[in-house]
Amino acid sequence: MNLLFVSDPLDSFRTYKDSTFAMMREAQRRGHTLAACEPRHLMWQAATGVQAHVQRITLTGHEERWFHETPQAPQERLVRLKDFDAVLMRKDPPFDSEYFYATHMLERAQHEGAKVFNDPRALRDHPEKLALLEFAQFAAPTLVTRDAQAIRQFHAQHQDIILKPLDGMGGAGIFRVREDGLNLGGIIETLNRHGEQTVMVQKFLPAIAQGDKRVLVIAGKAVPFCLARIPQGGEVRGNLAAGGLGVAQALSAKDQEIAQALGPVLFKRGLLLVGLDVIGDCLTEINVTSPTCFQEITHQTGCDVASIFIDALEACVL
């Protein structure tokens, strides 16, 4: 297969942990060819359809200079997306206006014949925090609102709560407010911006002490191991980007139940890869933009997540 990865800049990859890198490495091992671009490199004209200025790359196997770019003339770098066997959208959040525009470009490319994963319309239809609302039977008590008073009432009811912005990633902007309500007003002002920004509020789950579990679902089926991201040093956040400790473990019965309920539904909508976040027995987020934790799970368990993913990609394309 001739694959195009739409991602963050290649120079920003931390290859020892990057899941997109793991996908690339497994794809190259199987003889597939690799190209990469950033969303800013996408372009459309009526005469040509959606194109991108791409880098043709080969992985070197070295940690520092991890890829070699094949020299190309400027005209050779501009390629129609439909000329690739698959296009993988792996740009990290935030899901801002530019990300939104990129999904429309990728959807246009689909209409022209490109195969895009995850499906661009599904990316728009499943914002990572709000996608939870459809599956509330698995969620902790949750409030989504701009109303500061509603947040205060939610705190009065549940006493110990988590507040977070809808567009954050890696644990950014997450706050815990305990029974005493200390600094609740200031946190609401910071996140809510005097009613201008919607906030998600959830009941605090003490099971976070055992980890915020990332359950990967590929082609509708759960990977048999998850990564429990355990908060460290007094942190409330288990995210690896916030210093959490990642511990791979077998799925619990509840993890499997949640994955079996959501997986086939989301796959049917074009979401080849999904990352479910589960604390204890409660679903807290549904990640669809660029789910991670491939390498951590593989290194600790021997379960080759990248191989499972490329198997699924090949089944969809070949």
Rounded Cα distance between 220 and 38, Å, is 27
Set 25, 129, 203, 213: catalytic member: 129
Rounded Cα distance between 15 and 299, Å, is 13
Does residue 173 contact residue 191 with C-beta atoms inside 8 Å?
A: yes
Set 90, 239, 287, 296: catalytic member: 287
Residue 285 annotated as catalytic? yes
Residue 229 annotated as catalytic? yes
Set 56, 229, 239, 255: catalytic member: 229
Set 18, 212, 255, 277: catalytic member: 277
Does residue 310 contact residue 273 with C-beta atoms inside 8 Å?
A: no
Residue 129 annotated as catalytic? yes
Residue 164 annotated as catalytic? yes
Set 90, 164, 203, 213: catalytic member: 164
Give the Cβ contact number of residue 26 at 10 Å: 20
Set 25, 56, 90, 214: catalytic member: 214
Starting at the edge strand that comes first in sequence, how are the strands of the sheet with 199-203 ordered?
A: 142-145, 199-203, 161-165, 175-177
Set 192, 203, 237, 296: catalytic member: 237
Rounded Cα distance between 270 and 265, Å, is 9
Residue 237 annotated as catalytic? yes
Give the pair of three-digit tokens for residue 56.
């043709």
Set 212, 255, 285, 296: catalytic member: 285
Does residue 130 contact residue 288 with C-beta atoms inside 8 Å?
A: no
Residue 296 annotated as catalytic? no
Q: Which residues are catalytic?
A: 129, 164, 214, 229, 237, 277, 285, 287
